[in-house]
Homo-oligomer: A and B are copies of this chain.
């Protein structure tokens, strides 16, 4: 069993442990030498080049992804060559373009913020007028971790983006939300779907900072979120992990914020906190193997991202003090040079009681952030 992964970031890296456990051979096409997933990198090259990707994929059983940026013409070339691509091009097209995503979600009746595709400042102004003078503008493609997202209050606030936006921009209503949640599911080609518990995510500067699993004080929202995510995965024919990022609005509704069709930062807690991690599940789904049990192994798991500082040191440099202080917290390093704001690792604590688990996870994370 050979799985080819396009992209050598930390998501590909975190597929290595379950691949080793299961005896699945992982092959990674990395962008650069010395990538986070270098241990499993069998090729280094440009994922936008069809010949490079075809050569990489020639002797794997299935191709999957560390990111959603592989162009449709490259995906189509893989399909034409008879190589299973999971998730497939039609599903990925929805994840690759936020305007397409909004249109598809609206078409299947998923709850989303009011939205429109806009071509110029005039259309933005009209949207602002209809939405109390505040909105969120997004570039349809290429955004991540808060990049390509801007809160606007004036029709001229996105002028610098329109110049490069051949397909226009996406504008959405500004949603006053209580908090952000995420529902992860995995789906295999046969249709089987498995859902992890709904989680609460805390974002800082557009970057996932903390995840609480399961989402506390959620009432009936877990049932609503699971049903919604299963429906989206099924309607969009997603294979592999699907992350549905959600707003819990101030009036208690769920709205879909973003979709990701790959293992997701809000699911890193599953490595240490669930019977089957999102990375193992993604491999199983890609290989069309039966899915594993997504149940949590403890009442509470808390994941905190470690963001790099300016120092250029590595997360491992701080291990002696962090490990001595918190021997029960699981430390994960992505083997990346530190840069300000860069995700270089995460920590996860599990336990019986939310306040205690949060405190222990934060205590461990604090050793890496000053």
Contact = CB atoms under 8 A, between A and B. Distances in A.
A265 interface: no
Nearest to A18: B17
Interface in A174-197: 194
A291 B323 CA distance: 7
A130 to B, nearest CB: 48
Interface in A15-55: 16-18, 20-25, 39-40
Contacts of A25: 335
Interface stretch (A156-164, A226-234, A240-248, A325-333): A325-333
Interface string A315-353: 110011001100110111111000000000100001000
A154 interface: no
Given A298-B297, A328-B275, A323 B292 contact: yes
Given A297-B297, A297-B350, A316-B1, A335 B23 contact: yes
A34 B20 CA distance: 14
B20 A13 contact: yes
Contacts of A17: 16-18, 20-21
A362 interface: no
Contacts of A284: 323
Given A40-B39, A284-B323, A21 B332 contact: yes
A264 interface: no
Q: How many copies of the polypeptide does the oligomer hold?
A: 2
A194 B328 CA distance: 12
A72 interface: no
Interface string A203-239: 0000000000000000000000000000000000000
A293 B328 contact: yes
Given A24-B316, A333-B23, A334-B23, A290 B40 contact: no
A268 to B, nearest CB: 11
B319 A289 contact: yes
A276 interface: yes
A86 interface: no
Given A17-B20, A291-B323, A292-B323, 9 more contacts: A13-B20, A21-B271, A23-B314, A23-B345, A275-B330, A289-B319, A290-B323, A292-B327, A293-B328
Interface of A: 1, 13-14, 16-18, 20-25, 39-40, 194, 271, 275-276, 284, 289-293, 295, 297-298, 314-316, 319-320, 323-324, 327-328, 330-335, 345, 350
Top 3 A-B pairs, shortest CB-CB distance = A23-B333, A17-B17, A290-B323
